[in-house]
Amino acid sequence: MAPCNKSIIITCVLMIISITFSKATDTDINCLKAFKDSMEDPQNFLSSWNFSTTPEGYICAFVGIECWNSNSNRVLNIRLPNMGLKGMLPLDLANCTSMTGLDLSGNLLYGTLPTNISKILPYVTSLDLSSNNFSGQIPRDLANCSFLNVVRLENNAFSGQIPLDLGRLTRIREFNVANNSLFGPVPVFRNGNISAESYAGNSGLCGGPLPPCEGPANKTRI
């Protein structure tokens, strides 16, 4: 009797331990599974994303995925430019809790950016969503992605004003919103020298490197 109980206890403890250790990287696997599920992938670029195997570090070999190191499944960067992917930005990217780089440029992504984007991408340092079909406003909450160095949103259909709060981002050295439908004053970035080209091709951006904004408010825009 006693040895039987002991082995059950040991088995349970081992199971709990293995579940605990795998939980940390399960989230990244779920992040990528959800990403793949939310994308139309007509050119089958994501076919290498095979989730049926289980060894540690296997997602690190997926196309477009760079891990923190080869010993664990922690996603550092997702880089999938120009792959013909079509879909909305999946909120499950939040499960890639260690991700700092996201490049989905040159695809067919659409929809608006989540208003709580800093909860989805809290540690993002380089965000490139350029050359897609994103629309709507640039979320004010992007200003809470405090570690952003590079923001590339050019060649989309973003509209409205650029949230001036983005000037709070102290690490910005590149900020490009060219070729959208934005208007109004541009943010004042403390440490960035943003060129006029970064604002070109919009509906009436002003201030900063552009001509100054006109005095009386024009509340309505065409």
Q: For residue 156, give the DSSP letter.
A: S
Q: Which residues bind other proteins (CB under 8 A)?
A: 68-71, 76, 98, 100, 123, 125-126, 140, 143, 146-147, 149, 161, 163-168, 170-171, 173, 184-188, 190, 207-208, 212-219
Nearest distance from residue 79's CB to other proteins, in Å?
Answer: 12
Nearer to other proteins, 87 or 187 (CB): 187
**Residue 197 backbone dihedrals phi, psi, to 5 degrees:** -60, -30
Nearest approach, Cβ of 219 to other proteins (angstroms)? 7
- Tokens coding 183: 């208007």
Residue 17, number of CB atoms within 10 A of its CB: 10
Q: Per DSSP, which regions of the chain are E strands?
A: 65-67, 75-79, 86-88, 101-103, 108-111, 126-128, 133-136, 150-152, 157-161, 174-176, 181-185, 204-206
Q: What does the alpha-carbon distance between residue 7 and residue 26 come to, in Å, rounded to a whole number?
A: 27
Identify which of residues 44 and 70 has a Cβ nearer to other proteins in the complex.
Answer: 70
Q: In whole angstroms, how close is the CB of 25 to other proteins at the nearest point?
A: 14
**For residues 45 and 68, which CB has a smaller minimum distance to other proteins in the complex?**
68
- What minimum distance in Å lies between the beta carbon of 22 and other proteins? 17
C-beta closer to other proteins: residue 38 or 72: 72
